[in-house]
Amino acid sequence: MTSSTDRVARLESAWVALEGLSVGDAFGERFFGPPESAMQRIAERREAKPPWPWTDDTEMAVSIVEELAAHGRIDQGSLAQRFAKRMTYGRGYGQGAYTLLAKVREGEDWGVASRTLFRGMGSFGNGGAMRAAPIGAYFSHDIARCIDEARAAAEVTHAHPEGIAGGIAVAVAALHAVRGRAASRPLADGLLDLVREATPAGLLRDAIDEARGIAGTTPVVEVARALGNGSGVTAPDTVPLCLWMLANRAPAYGESLWATVSALGDRDTTCAIVGGVAACFYGVDAIPPSWRAAREPLPIARSW
């Protein structure tokens, strides 16, 4: 049985992941626009003026943390209701997620709505991955449980196996980061190997294999060309780049995001994924204070 002390510690870990994820989300979102302008600002390390609003990535991750605080696990029906109730227009939801959650609001069963998306295949977008870091942080003590809970959380909106695989991969990366911090072990040590082992067979795992073969000195533009940068908004097109960044370009929280955003693509989501995992390793105090201050406040209180 989990003691109240353990529960609070695990929720604090999930909160750190949420902090890192939300700052990354808001940071990355500020670099959309003409590519030439964005790359110039990145090269000059020119931060956007505050405030930095966050997107659907953070909004859904907040519901994940609330669900863990309420139940200590992912109850899919409860999580679907949280997603649907919290969904805010203008936060950047994809059409599939918007359609599904609107149906849930109207009373349709989440399982039916999720599995009928995209001609019955279910979504294989990157939404299950973008919000998964708090799950890995919370269940860092048990990798089998982490995988099961990440699968359950992703399936609510992403019934396709590749969409689920994205959630699992990011959750396990966060688990690895929490464990690495506790053991004073470098973040990169064994990261890609562990995540690859936990990820179900398919396109995403194949891309992780490809990422394992790309040297850490490879220019980011070449890595993005090989692995994708989220422009396709799918899990296989998004998660492998993020994992490569964490394994090769994450000497600190801030540096990991500057490297990630330089790949352009779906930059709020790639930065949310990398930011969530990096915070699990470096800690919330490693997030630049000015970035946390610029980020729009989170709509959740630490009530535990």
Asked if residue 246 belongs to a domain, the reply is yes
111 phi/psi in degrees, rounded to 5: -65, -40
Asked if residue 177 belongs to a domain, the reply is yes
CATH, residue 54: 1.10.4080.10
Asked if residue 301 belongs to a domain, the reply is no
Identify whether the C-beta of residue 272 lies closer than 8 Å to the C-beta of residue 21. yes
The band of 2, judged by pLDDT with boundaries at 50, 70 and 90, is: low
- Per-residue model confidence (pLDDT) at position 252: 98
Asked if residue 64 belongs to a domain, the reply is yes
Quick: pLDDT tens for 169-209: 999 999 999 999 999 999 999 999 999 999 999 999 999 99
Asked if residue 304 belongs to a domain, the reply is no
Separation of alpha carbons 292 and 269, rounded Å: 17
For 101, the token pair is 């959650």
Asked if residue 31 belongs to a domain, the reply is yes
The count of domains in the chain is: 1
- Per-residue model confidence (pLDDT) at position 87: 96
Separation of alpha carbons 89 and 46, rounded Å: 29
Identify whether the C-beta of residue 291 lies closer than 8 Å to the C-beta of residue 27. yes
Name residues whose C-beta falls within 8 Å of residue 49's C-beta, 6 or more positions apart in sequence: none
Catalogue the long-range contacts made by 183-186 (C-beta closer than 8 Å, 24 or more residues apart): none
- pLDDT of residue 1 exceeding 70, the answer is no
Average pLDDT over residues 55-71: 98
Asked if residue 299 belongs to a domain, the reply is no
- Per-residue model confidence (pLDDT) at position 287: 98
- Per-residue model confidence (pLDDT) at position 194: 98
Mean pLDDT value across the chain: 96
Quick: pLDDT tens for 238-284: 999 999 999 999 999 999 999 999 999 999 999 999 999 999 999 99
- Per-residue model confidence (pLDDT) at position 3: 83
Quick: pLDDT tens for 82-110: 999 999 989 999 988 999 999 999 999 99
Asked if residue 300 belongs to a domain, the reply is no
Residue 22 belongs to domain spanning? 4-294
